[in-house]
Amino acid sequence: MRLAFSVVAFLVANPVLAGEADVIAATAEQDIRGTWTVSATILHADTGWEHYADRFDVLDENGNLLGSRTLFHPHVDEQPFTRALSALSIPDDVSTITVRAHDSVHELGGATVEIVLER
């Protein structure tokens, strides 16, 4: 019985087991000024301040960073969650963007979403 408790306590307390942050949905909308709002829905088993999804990035087709949204706190009880990055400038020659998430332990590596921009 004591062994089972120790194993469960390890599984709950080990932040590495939360895995990588995944973008499970994303949208991009251009406003009348020509800037974009990119919304990302992120799924991550946030455990608290020691392991949480802390950012999402928007990249062009060549992997160049166009913008990032910092996520300033864990979302332990709000999964999945959606946040937006507004007033993003995307060059006219960029036709596809990729949205990826970052977490405080694994950094990058989870699922991404690719969006074909409609201008």
Task: List per-residue pLDDT tens for the chain, 119 residues long.
Answer: 433 333 333 333 334 445 789 999 999 999 999 999 999 999 988 778 988 888 999 999 999 999 999 998 877 777 898 999 999 999 999 999 999 999 988 888 899 999 999 88
CATH code of residue 56: 2.60.40.10
Helix (H, G, I), strand (E, B) or coil at 85: strand
Question: The dihedral of CA 14, 20, 25, 26: what is its sign?
Answer: positive
DSSP 18: G
Domain range for 71 is: 2-116
The number of distinct structural domains making up the chain is 1
**Separation between Cα atoms, residue 101 and residue 19, nearest integer Å:** 12
C-beta of residue 84 within 8 angstroms of C-beta of residue 55: no
DSSP 110: S
| pTM reported for the whole predicted model | 0.82
